[in-house]
Amino acid sequence: MTPPELDRMSALFLDLDGTLLEIAATPELVVVPTGLPVLLSHLHHFLQGALAIVTGRSLAVADGLLAPFAAAAAGEHGVVLRYADGTLEEMPAGLAVPEAWRDSLVAAAERWPGVLVEPKPHGCAVHYRLAPEHGDDVWRLVRALVADDHPWFKLIPAREAVEIGPRAASKGHAVERLMTQAPFAGRCPIFIGDDFTDEAGMNAARTFGGQGLRVAEFFGGDPANVRAWLKRGVERLDGCPATSPVRAEVSP
């Protein structure tokens, strides 16, 4: 499958891990390629601000990884939104995983070498990439904590991980909310993601007449190919030749 070409009426929604960044053994070990923040800044300029990072990371962590770039964003799978003007919105306000659940996850992880607990402001993720033999143990524990019909929380599957997060939030809701506001409103959205949680964002983009692009299908499963496509988009939008200073500045 061939990804579409960006134009100046596109609205771009980008997942982070597995889409812009290669998956690492642990969340802390991800590497941000040289030039990625500058590349995003150029895209943000050419799209007149219609670019958002939509990630499972907290906004603070995502901002730290991509600094000095900052723009509209959704953190923790849409729990927290930041609009283009900097306004923050929390959905639902004040709801966070109970401390007793967090303590149970941490205590279990201490019994399962290689299992890592990633606390977030509203949710909590458990990673078993380094200990796949404990995947079933992790899922039994989180299912014991969060029933399928729990009114406030849900389980969010991910690559060799599972997260407990607020039921009301999703990447799809984040796209819907952002698309009602300038500079996204009236544009054609493109959502790029690689994981289960990105499907809602892709579906929302399609609802607004845009496209949802899976990294595996459109980019060979390789974030480097996503970055290369974004770089080509910058060059196309800018109309600059391949040897221009902009090309060198934004190489992924």
Please say if 137 is a catalytic residue: no
User: CA 184, CA 197: separation in Å to the nearest integer?
Assistant: 21
Query: What is the chain's alpha carbon radius of gyration, rounded to the nearest angstrom?
Result: 18
Given the residues 15, 17, 194, 198, the one annotated as active site: 15
Q: Map tokens 């900052």 to a residue.
A: 70
User: CA 162, CA 124: separation in Å to the nearest integer?
Assistant: 9
For every residue of 60-99, DSSP letters joined together read: HHHHHHHTT---EEEEGGGTEEE-TTS-EEETTTT----H
Angle at 232 between CA 228 and CA 236, to 5 degrees: 170
Q: b/e map of 208-226 (b: 16 or more CB within 10 Å)? A: bebbbbbbeebbeeebeeb
Which residues does the annotation mark as catalytic? 15
